[in-house]
Structure 1
Amino acid sequence: MAASELAMEARNLGVRFRRNRRGRRNLKDLFSGSSRRSRPDEFWALRDVSFSVAPGESIGVVGRNGQGKSTLLKLVAGVLIPDQGNMMVNGGVAPLIEITGGFVGDLTVRENVRLTSGLHGMPRAEVARRFDSMIEFAGLGDFLDTPYKHLSSGMKVRLAFAVVSQLDEPIMLVDEVLAVGDKAFREKCYRRIDELLAEGRTLFFVSHSERDLRRFCTRGLYLDKGQLVMDGPIAEVLDRYNSDQS
């Protein structure tokens, strides 16, 4: 499949971080080229990671904490720029990652829905058309004029999921969002993701829940120490991952 026909393609991706703020790169480093040299306080969160994803695929990313999963998700989202290789994404993304980011504490629920939807590129008329369904999904009809900062953590997550899951972007990025909230809300989220997958959306899903990975994903990427250990059917990838942990 040609690159222009893919939902995304990673080629030799690498991301390098510093272990302490005193050692971070400065402008002199960036322009002199010294940033390319390895330093004792640096580590590679990802190194030489390559894969491609066709439109409509459901990809689950597995691995222990600290192995590069969320870093990879942020590369796909465009939040991070790789130090090595490149990340190509065709089409917009609906980022269900760090899900409550972007909401303003002093604004009301009503104001935050309009603001956040607009920041994600939803036209004003479309925000108005979908407003009631977003509020109904979040179950916050009695809190429209309540400042966001006064909501419980669970209410904040419900509101954020309700907004972002209404975006029409072809690619969904999900990072452990289903691990929060009560059982009834999780089931509502499951049904919404099922609906989006049925529409042909592409899913890139990071989770520690084997149940969720098997439910939503057909293919898996297994990361260990920042490197891609295995790329294959989700059941085989999970079997390999579980075997390595035993």
Structure 2
Amino acid sequence: MRMKFDPSNPIIQLCMKGMALEESGNLDDAIEAFIEAWNQTSDDYERFIAAYHLGLRQNNVDDKLKWMEKSLALALKINDDDVKSAYPTLYLTIAKCYEAMNDTTNARKNSELFHSCQGRPTDAGPFYHGSKADLQVGDLLTAGKKSNYEKDLKMNHIYFTANINGAGLAAALSKGEGIEHVYIIEPTGEFENDPNVTDKKFPGNLTRSYRSQNPLKVLGEVTDWEKLTHSERQEWDERLAKNKGEIIN
């Protein structure tokens, strides 16, 4: 059974709150939010995420190592295919901690584990693509369209996800006035983790977001995803308006 990344999860929301506070320069308040997240965790998945965020914010290398090793131990215990996407990030961060401590043996060991965990995603789906375009079974979605998030940017990849609600969010935020659709799709070639989300806020690719330079074939359509409320839509619009990050194309 795969663990489901749920943006409405209280621990995820507290971590998002902490990241927003940090971005606005309120580091002390941000750390308090991450500590609150850790104290409210109810399972190993939540603890794995909260420990990772607490580890990132430690100035003392011993404290950083303690939290990162705790996060890794929880990730290994969960042994979930999605959580495995975080292994390289955790091993590399731990290796750098040992390097800073002049512990070359453990630094080398974790560096080797980092390299051994890398590779293309093995997610078997099902996969989804959110859009306002009216498509039919058998249609091909291709790269080269304009970005929904940056004016005049031509996208070199076509994006999709194994998270149905993530595809629904993409449909809601896509340009145009049409009806929101979530299509079941099949990649026709190789694909990779979406670097715009992988390791950006959470370790690895917990949202199961991918991209490909090859077309995506439409297999069908679903209607049972969680649609945004009006207030949630407003929050996303405001968040995107404030976002100054560069799209990795």
Query: What's the TM-score bracket when you normalise by the shorter of the two chains?
Result: under 0.3
Taking structure 2 as the reference length, the TM-score comes to: 0.26
Taking structure 1 as the reference length, the TM-score comes to: 0.26
Larger relative contact order, structure 1 or 2 (CA cutoff 8 Å, min sep 6):
1
More strand by share: 1
